């Protein structure tokens, strides 16, 4: 699907502008959504923007990827006043409905794309989701939004590619789909960094060998390294998988100005990543991006604008892509280790 062929932008959100507030010192706070929507607004009026209605995801929709006991426990914890779940993750009385609305927005985005048969979707919601496992909240995440959306399509017999370019590895998404032959999970992430998972030899379970594809990059890596990871290291696996949908865990914390990481991407790099990922979609109306991280607000706004503008066929005024950082040689070495691990998983 060529980016220039996209005419409509489906924005399922915003959600989390007020609710689920951990205070002004917590990096994952409502002001992030204000910055994200500034980036959306900077696109101007030249493209059609559709804002579908959305509601809280149902318990059945959440239970496709989360243990019902975990969901019930989280709901009760919030109803009783909430508190700190771990050193990074919190819940408040309004966090449970906020998490359900965030997941529901993703479901509405895919439904809107399917009804239109064209366009690209962006889901600007919080709390984010890719660290939430089937049974555990962590890393600012309560419910795994992209996983809920992916499972809604695999339940219909469709195959889903999830590309995760957040700077942190999406351990929750990997955990949920580890043994699922209908989901290909591809992650670029800084390593070492929280949560410590995402090694290249983590390749999927016996039911899905090779369908987890981790592409860790070192601190200081620039955009050319991530572009090579997706365009060179991952492309063959993606094309062989032949996805029906492409969903992106779209974090912007790999930006060089972000306080929680050490990668050196510019907003222009996110535009280039978006163009690459757009080419993986089988046809128009099958690409949706889900907000994950991004904690420097000016960088967040500019990166959202650059990403969406690229998908809508425009270039605009954005910073240049970056090149020359470390990691290209490591990508190639990791590819050899990954292939050996897949061969071992397939024969186990």
pLDDT in tens, 261-309: 999 999 999 999 999 999 999 999 999 999 999 999 999 999 999 999 9
What is the predicted pLDDT for the residue at 44? 86
CA dihedral (172, 175, 180, 185) positive or negative: positive
What is the predicted pLDDT for the residue at 316? 65
Q: Determine if the pTM surpasses 0.75.
A: yes
Residue 131 known to be catalytic: yes
Average confidence (pLDDT) over 23-51: 94
Cα angle, residue 167 at apex, residues 182 and 248 outer, rounded to 5°: 35
Residue 6 pLDDT > 80: no
pLDDT tens, residue by residue, 162-218 = 999 999 999 999 999 999 999 999 999 999 999 999 999 999 999 999 999 999 999
What does the mean pLDDT of the chain come to? 95
Look at 178 and 348; give whichever has higher pLDDT: 178
Which is it for strands 120-123 and 83-84: parallel, antiparallel or unpaired?
unpaired
Choice among 131, 169, 189, 191 that is catalytic: 131
What is the predicted pLDDT for the residue at 2? 40
What is the predicted pLDDT for the residue at 317? 62
Look at 313 and 202; give whichever has higher pLDDT: 202
Instruction: Give the separation between CA 143 and CA 9, rounded to whole angstroms.
Output: 25
Q: In percent, how much of the chain has pLDDT > 70?
A: 97
315, with CB counted inside 10 A (0-12, 13-18, 19+), is exposed
Average confidence (pLDDT) over 77-89: 98
Let me know: does 120 contact 9? Beta carbons within 8 Å.
yes
pLDDT tens, residue by residue, 154-169 = 999 999 999 999 999 9
Where does the pLDDT of residue 38 fall: very low under 50, low under 70, confident under 90, or very high at 90 and above? very high
Residue 76 pLDDT > 70: yes
Spell 319-341 as b/e; 16+ CB within 10 A means b. Answer: bebbeebebbebbeebbeebeeb
Task: Annotate 230-284 with DSSP letters as a single string.
Answer: IIIIIHHHHHHH--SEEEEEE--TTBTT-TT----B-HHHHHHHHHHHHTTSSST
> Which region among 7-11, 105-109, 142-146, 202-206 has the lowest average model confidence (pLDDT)?
7-11
């Amino acid at each position: 699907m060529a980016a220039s062929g996209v005419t409509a932008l489906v924005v399922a959100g915003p959600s989390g502008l007020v609710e689920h507030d951990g205070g002004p010192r917590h990096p994952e706070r409502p002001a992030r959504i204000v910055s994200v929507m500034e980036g959306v607004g900077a696109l101007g009026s030249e493209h059609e923007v559709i804002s579908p209605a959305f509601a809280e995801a149902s318990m059945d929709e959440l239970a496709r990827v989360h243990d019902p006991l975990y969901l019930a426990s989280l709901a009760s914890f919030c109803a009783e006043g909430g508190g700190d779940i771990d050193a990074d993750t919190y819940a408040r009385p309004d966090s449970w409905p906020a998490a359900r609305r965030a997941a529901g927005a993703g479901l509405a985005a895919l439904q809107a794309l399917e009804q239109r048969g064209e366009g690209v979707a962006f889901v600007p919601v919080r709390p984010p989701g890719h660290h939430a496992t089937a049974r555990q909240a962590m890393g600012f995440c309560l419910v795994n939004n992209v996983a809920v959306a992916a499972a809604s399509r695999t339940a219909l017999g469709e195959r889903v590619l999830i590309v995760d370019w957040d700077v942190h590895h999406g351990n929750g998404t990997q955990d949920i789909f580890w043994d699922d032959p209908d989901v290909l999970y591809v992650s670029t992430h800084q390593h070492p960094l929280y949560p410590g998972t995402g090694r290249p030899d983590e390749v999927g379970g016996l039911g899905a060998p090779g369908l987890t594809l981790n592409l860790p990059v070192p601190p200081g890596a620039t955009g050319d390294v991530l572009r090579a990871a997706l365009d060179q290291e991952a492309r063959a696996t993606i094309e062989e998988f032949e996805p029906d949908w492409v969903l992106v865990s779209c974090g912007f914390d790999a930006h060089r100005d972000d306080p929680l990481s050490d990668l050196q991407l510019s907003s222009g790099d996110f535009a280039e990543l978006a163009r690459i990922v757009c080419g993986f979609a089988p046809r128009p109306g099958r690409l949706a991006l889900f907000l994950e991280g991004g904690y420097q607000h000016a960088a967040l706004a500019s990166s959202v604008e650059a990403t969406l503008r690229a998908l809508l066929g425009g270039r605009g005024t954005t910073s240049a892509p970056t090149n020359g950082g470390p990691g290209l040689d490591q990508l190639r070495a990791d590819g050899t280790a990954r292939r050996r691990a897949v061969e071992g998983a397939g024969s186990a």
